[in-house]
Amino acid sequence: MRDKINPRSVTVVAGLLLEGWALYVVGAAPQRWRPSLIVKDEPTAHALYETMMQAIQQARSLSYTSVCSTPDDRTSTYRVWLKKPNSFHMEQTNDGSLKSTTLLDDGGSLWIHWVGDRPTLLIDTQTSRGDARSDVYIKKATLAAGSSISNEVAMFGTALAGLILDPSIFHKGPDPLEGCIDGIRSRGVNPVRGEECDVIEVGFLQARRTRYLWLSRQDHLPRRLKEIVRDAEIRVTVEEWSNVAVNAEIGPKILTWSPPKDWRPWDPPKPEDSLLESGQEAPDFKLDSARRGKIKLSDYRGHVVWLYVWDAGTPQCREEIAGLQQLHQDYSDKGLAILGFNGTDNRRIARAFLRANRITLPSVLDSSETTVRLMRDGYGNRTKTVPLNYIINPQGIVVYAWFGHEHDPEQVLAALKDAGLGLAQ
């Protein structure tokens, strides 16, 4: 006799097919961005999300295995142990490889190591690629409150598929997307490996990012997550949780490590090490504008240029670009050109964001391969970190460069003055 079909499960499956889950079963593509994808908030579904966050943050310990995959069969496995107040152990491996990247924070230091030869990392420079290849480890200060474990992993670039849910939430680290939720709605009930789960859909940043969470009715923690990111390309990741244990004992053997005899400490390059240095010429470009036509850097000769690399999916960029818009209005006739540079976003999403926030400063909006190579090889942004800032003098020479949202304003003012801008006191 055929199993009875749960009508609510049918609703869930049908909805997920519409949103792109069929990518994994029949090859259909997820929907491209449009305003109707923006999720309206449902209080009951929002409460399920809050209950999940509380379950993670109030646990004394949490361990699980996470398998993350993409439609092109790129798969990474993470074994995760988390313990209060500030300890964790993570081992990351890729499908088909025995080599693992291990991160372990014992509450005093963060240790990162590989067995045997270390892989080539995103942050490697020409010099460091051949440096310290075998039996090395990195020792850093323990992760500060608010730091991201996922970002630490992503910075190395060793994973084929990244985590959707940042383990740092367990240590009450702030979720950078927490304040960017459009809404949360229910997608019914659906089992995962025989376990009943409430399915919710969470929309972020005006539908630029959508997550589906299968939350176990037993402990309110995820058993499956799916994320759709709509930028220049539509990117889909699925994360499957198993071996979930809450408040189980995690012994010191898991949460302590010391380097074996003859292993050497290695000080890796920083992302900033690949940026252009003061005195180097900023590579010229002629790329598509967010409006019509092209933007050519050399057309701004005679102006001090603040080149601001941004994307609409980064909360810091969304906050900071409003301040740069004000500078554009105040100083565009005084020799300062604020020039945005977006090489990652879907054109419709970026233009909608600029219109909604009344951003009129000129900005490149070009996701071509030429742009990708320019940022990576010309401007040294190997890790694709944003925001990225360059101060360029009227002759096209770099004066100062830095990553990040928060920065010493005195250094920025000094760089603008060094570039030749007269600023009122």
Residue 145: predicted pLDDT = 77
Please provide the DSSP assignment of 233-274 as one string.
SEEEEEEEEEEEEES----HHHH---PPTT-EE--PPPGGGG
Residue 178: predicted pLDDT = 83
Q: How far apart are CA 143 and CA 164, in angstroms?
A: 20
Burial of 423 per CB tally in 10 Å (0-12, 13-18, 19+): exposed
Is there a contact between 77 and 92 (Cβ–Cβ < 8 Å)?
Answer: yes
Tell me the β-bridge partners of 109: 141
Q: How far apart are CA 108 and CA 266, in angstroms?
A: 18
This prediction's pTM: 0.89
Residue 275: predicted pLDDT = 96
Please report, in tens digits, the pLDDT of each residue of the chain (425 residues total): 333 333 333 333 333 333 433 333 323 457 778 878 999 999 999 999 999 999 999 999 999 999 999 999 999 999 999 999 999 999 999 998 888 999 999 999 999 999 878 888 999 887 888 878 889 999 999 998 778 999 999 999 999 999 999 999 999 876 778 889 999 999 999 999 999 999 999 999 999 999 999 999 999 999 999 999 999 999 999 999 999 999 999 999 999 999 999 999 999 999 999 999 999 999 999 999 999 899 999 999 999 999 999 999 999 999 999 899 999 999 999 999 999 999 999 999 999 999 999 999 999 999 999 999 999 999 999 999 999 999 999 999 999 999 986 678 899 999 999 999 986 54
For the domain 7-269, what is the CATH code? Answer: 2.50.20.10
Q: How far apart are CA 329 and CA 419, in angstroms?
A: 19
Residue 115: predicted pLDDT = 83
Domain ranges of the chain: 7-269, 273-418
User: Who's near 289: CB < 8 A, 6+ residues apart?
Assistant: 295, 362, 363, 364, 365
For the domain 273-418, what is the CATH code? Answer: 3.40.30.10
Instruction: Record the tokens describing residue 188, joined without a space.
Output: 């019914």
